[in-house]
Structure 1
Amino acid sequence: MKDTAPIALVAALHDELASVLELMPDEHKQTVGGREFWVGHLHGQAVVAVLSGIGKVAAATTATLLIERFGVGGIVFTGVAGGLGEGVRVGDVVVARSFLQHDMDASPLFPRHEVPGYGRSRFDADAALTDRLLAACHHTLTYLPSTLTASTVHTFGLHGPRVHQGLLVSGDRFVATTTESQALQAALPDALAVEMEGAAFAQVCHDFGVPLAVVRTISDRADDAAHVDFPKFLREVASRYSGAIVESLFSR
């Protein structure tokens, strides 16, 4: 994977960004808009790494800065999410093909979920970049789960993790109750997972014509049982997934 313009590597949380920065031998920091952007190379490709910020507004600001200030030619986002779709389990990986803001509701002026001014509720991921990310995820899951400790596998029930692809939904609310997750499943039955940034990145990338690909590791089922040892999951599972998937993507 080699492009002339830099590729943005965006993580949702500090541990995940750290796993990406470990792959960059020559990174240096620039601070813009209160955000730390790490500029460098990965396998000879110019890259810019940054934390997205939490929520759609922070995510949109970060995406715009990456495009306007750093001139990135594509964005790859890694993070965690709550599983919604049937069979989407803790430790699985979801690669987004499309995005929707589940809390967008300008009715009765516009249909529920439709973004005013766009005539649509869903924004697509870039097909080519997403195909490459999907291949990297499949490759990573052929070996990485076997390197996890028995304790980690037992604690989180990580048995035969799989890769899913489809709809990712975003909103400015942390979904962590069965009532909320069931409401989302009823309203959006094809949604695979829920998080707080992806759809904002997708709308900005649509506006600027910049390719976007997003992968999310499932940390919980976004329900009443979602209160896992999240720091342990992030440290021992999600951050390792992020680093390995990015490494695979850029080394292929």
Structure 2
Amino acid sequence: MVLVLAATPAETALLRRQVISSATVQCGGRELLRGNLCGTAVVVGHAGIGAMLMAMQLTRMLTELRPAAVILCGCGGSYPDRGPGIGDLALASSEIYGDCGVTTDSGFIPLEQLKIPQQSHLAPLFQQSYKLDTPLYHQAVQLLPQAYCGPFVTVNNCSGTPELSRQLQRLTTGICENMEGAAAAQVCAEFACPLLEVRGISNPTGTRADEQWDIPLGMRVAQEAVLTLLQRGLLNP
């Protein structure tokens, strides 16, 4: 069984309409949809917006459902000069916590570079970035040749100004910004569960101008990519 996960129900609306033999199941007091999608057994669920909710809900789902893999889908914002534009598809090769650290007069210092003492036998070690499951990612790259591929960046403080957008792009070399992916990658790494992240670009980072945003398009592109992956045999090479 594959867990298809998004932050919000709007990001799975197209997928849920195509699930057959469906039934509602409960997990942590929330409803999930179980059934068959393009010949694959799936559970479709929603974690909520932001890294904290993603970590909490995904932990519950992995504990109770034990899926073979997780596909995280949704929309995201592209960084300047990195390739993808509105309506394009992006695949994450890795996920990075972009704004977890300290801002100083001389610039931003990632938390991973602060040399805070950690003891792995007492608590999980903090990682600034997580490489996504390589076999699953490479299979998706082959099945979706039109997709832009590269690091995704997870933030709490989205890049609504050109200055912040350029800073995060420079620090991370990321192609796409979102609010949940790194948390999903961290939880999946803890559970040794393969994760694939697929996003449709809904906007460029660095602006709040309405004419440069198309959230419904970004959501649709990501969901169509999930359908294509399942139809072309993802997890069944």
TM-score higher than 0.5: yes
1:114 corresponds in structure 2 to 112
1:171 corresponds in structure 2 to 155
Return the offset for 1:60. 0.7
1:98 corresponds in structure 2 to 94
Query: Residue type of the partner of 2:191?
Result: F
Return the offset for 1:44. 3.2
Could you tell me which runs of 5 or more consecutive residues in structure 1 were left unpaired when the two chains were aligned.
1-5, 139-161
Map of 1:28-39 to 2, 5 A cutoff? 28-39=23-34
Q: Confirm or deny: 8 A CA contact 1:178 1:222 kept in the other structure.
A: yes
Aligned residues: 218
Query: Residue type of the partner of 1:19?
Result: L
Q: Confirm or deny: 8 A CA contact 2:200 2:220 kept in the other structure.
A: no
Could you tell me which runs of 5 or more consecutive residues in structure 2 were left unpaired when the two chains were aligned.
119-123, 233-237
Q: Confirm or deny: 8 A CA contact 2:54 2:180 kept in the other structure.
A: yes
Query: Residue type of the partner of 1:205?
Result: C
Q: Return 240-249 or 113-122, whichever deviates more.
A: 113-122
Match of 1:133 among 110, 118, 140: 140
Q: Say which SS state the counterpart of residue 199 (structure 1) adopts.
A: helix
Return the offset for 1:229. 7.1
CA offsets per residue over residues 185-211 of structure 1, 9 Å max, x none? 2322x1111110000000011111000
User: What is the TM-score with the length of structure 1 in the denominator?
Assistant: 0.78
Query: Residue type of the partner of 1:17?
Result: T
Higher strand share: 2
Map of 1:46-85 to 2, 5 A cutoff? 46-85=41-80
2:180 corresponds in structure 1 to 197
Q: Confirm or deny: 8 A CA contact 1:136 1:246 kept in the other structure.
A: no
Residue identity (%): 26
In the TM superposition, structure 1's runs of 4+ consecutive aligned residues that sit over 4 Å from their partners are none
Return the offset for 1:31. 3.0
Map of 1:200-239 to 2, 5 A cutoff? 200-224=183-207, 226-228=209-211, 230=213, 233-235=214-216, 237-239=217-219
Shift of the 226–74 alpha-carbon distance from structure 1 to 2, 3 Å rule, reads farther
